[in-house]
Amino acid sequence: MYKYIYVESKASGYFSSGKHRELIDEHCKEGWRFITAIPTVFNILGVIKQYDLVFEKEV
Segment 3-26 mean pLDDT: 86
What percent of the chain is predicted at pLDDT more than 90? 78
Between CA 37 and CA 35 the distance in angstroms is: 7
**Per-residue pLDDT at 18:** 72
Query: Does 59 score more than 70 pLDDT?
Result: yes
Domains in the chain: how many in total?
Answer: 1
CA atoms within 13 A on the CB side of 8: 5
Signed CA dihedral, 6, 55, 2, 57: sign only: negative
**Per-residue pLDDT at 11:** 87
Query: Does 14 score more than 70 pLDDT?
Result: no
18-46 pLDDT per residue, tens: 788 999 999 999 999 999 999 999 999 99
Instruction: Give residue 9's Cα distance to chain centre.
Output: 5
Give me the domain span that covers residue 53: 2-58
